[in-house]
């Protein structure tokens, strides 16, 4: 479990201690058809049973493309696998004339638990605003799922505003659309680190995660700030996962490319082995 030390934070009282179950999430992006998806989940399940992964110590979620969800859902249910199912996007609309969109109700019916909203590839490639991201988060919550709100600065933002300002602003606007009591996960993903092989340092990730958590105290109060999981994403690999997981405010990882390689993803999930090793 990760803790919530407030080293280096401002003069405020420390947050109440709250255990946060680490979450390792695999975003497959637009990869794998439904047959390949079944094969990957089967291999992952075997790999994790081999290493006797303790799912109560770290939750594992996979985010396949929409067309794979039904197949993966069926497999998880039939084989009673402890993996959690996520979707990569959702429509902000309930139903109707929105060709190509997938509603939150449709996803919930497939036992989807988490929905990515605001991934930088959707913000950049589909012009999604912070407000749209918030409306998507609200739609996911309204159907009983937990939105995973992705935030992160570009290289130009980093130069101009520093690391935390843009992620904090993105989160603030998105949360304005979400009911006060809604559960959510935050994924801090510096855009310059996604798919580049150039991950942030653990200290950079911790600085932004801590700033986000401090800001959550203002937006949602201490209890929600203490219980909300904040993940790091951007070129996470088995080589660097331990450094991120040692940070008090980083509660897991959103993994893109490496989640498609079963052995590598399994090693990432087994981060505890390396965390204590120093």
Closest distance between ligand PEP and the C-beta of residue 187, in Å? 7
Pick the closest to residue 174 from 155, 154, 152, 158 (CA basis).
152
- Cα 46 from chain centre: 23
234 annotated ligand binder = no
Cα–Cα distance, 193 to 231 (Å, whole number)? 14
Closest distance between ligand PEP and the C-beta of residue 23, in Å? 13
Catalytic, out of 53, 119, 141, 274: 119
Cα–Cα distance, 85 to 83 (Å, whole number)? 7
Q: Is 274 tagged catalytic?
A: no
192 annotated ligand binder = no
Closest distance between ligand PEP and the C-beta of residue 100, in Å? 21
- Count CA atoms closer than 13 A to 247's CA, side-chain side: 25
Give the residue with the Cβ less far from ligand PEP, 234 or 252: 234
Pick the closest to residue 189 from 166, 215, 161, 217 (CA basis).
166
27 annotated ligand binder = yes
Give the residue with the Cβ less far from ligand PEP, 123 or 220: 123
28 annotated ligand binder = yes
Rg (CA), the chain: 18
Cα–Cα distance, 188 to 139 (Å, whole number)? 21
Footprint on this chain of ligand PEP (rule: CB under 6 A): 27, 29, 189, 194-195, 233-236, 254-258
Report whether 215 contacts 261 (CB < 8 A): no
Give the residue with the Cβ less far from ligand PEP, 136 or 220: 136
252 annotated ligand binder = no
Report whether 34 contacts 66 (CB < 8 A): no
Closest distance between ligand PEP and the C-beta of residue 221, in Å? 28
Closest distance between ligand PEP and the C-beta of residue 88, in Å? 9
Q: Is 189 tagged catalytic?
A: yes
235 annotated ligand binder = yes
Give me the residue whose beta carbon is nearest to ligand PEP.
Answer: 256
Give the residue with the Cβ less far from ligand PEP, 230 or 236: 236
Q: Cα dihedral sign for 119, 234, 250, 202? A: negative
Give the residue with the Cβ less far from ligand PEP, 15 or 44: 44
**Please, where are the H alpha helices in 110-201?**
120-126, 130-142, 155-161, 165-175
Catalytic, out of 59, 121, 128, 189: 189
Q: Which two tokens stand for residue 40?
A: 């990957």
**Positions marked active-site:** 119, 189
Annotation: binding site: 27-29, 195, 235, 256-257
Annotation: binding site for substrate: 27-29, 195, 235, 256-257
């Amino acid at each position: 479990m990760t803790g919530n030390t407030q080293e280096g934070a401002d003069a405020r009282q420390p947050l109440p201690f709250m255990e946060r179950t680490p979450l390792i999430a695999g975003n497959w992006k637009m990869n794998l058809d439904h047959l390949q998806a079944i094969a990957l989940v089967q291999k992952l399940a075997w790999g994790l049973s081999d290493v006797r992964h303790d799912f109560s110590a770290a939750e594992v979620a996979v985010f396949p493309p929409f067309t794979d969800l039904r197949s993966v859902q069926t497999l998880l249910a039939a084989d009673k696998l402890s993996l959690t199912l996520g979707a990569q996007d959702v429509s902000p609309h309930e139903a109707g004339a929105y060709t190509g969109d997938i509603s939150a109700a449709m996803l919930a019916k497939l036992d989807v638990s988490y929905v990515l909203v605001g991934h930088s590839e959707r913000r950049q490639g589909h012009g999604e605003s912070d407000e749209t991201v918030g409306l998507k988060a609200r739609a996911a919550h309204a159907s009983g799922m937990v939105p995973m709100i992705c935030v992160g600065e570009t290289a130009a933002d980093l130069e101009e505003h520093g690391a935390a300002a843009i992620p904090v602003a993105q989160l603030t606007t998105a949360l304005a659309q979400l009911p006060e009591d809604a559960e959510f996960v935050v994924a801090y993903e510096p855009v310059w680190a996604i798919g580049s092989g150039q991950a942030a340092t653990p200290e950079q990730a911790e600085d932004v995660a801590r700033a986000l958590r401090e800001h959550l105290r203002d937006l949602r109060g201490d209890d929600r700030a203490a219980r909300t999981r904040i993940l790091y994403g951007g070129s996470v690999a088995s080589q660097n996962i331990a450094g991120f997981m040692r940070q008090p405010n980083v509660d897991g990882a959103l993994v893109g490319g490496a989640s498609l390689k079963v052995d590598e993803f399994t090693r990432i999930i087994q981060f505890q082995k390396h965390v204590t090793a120093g």
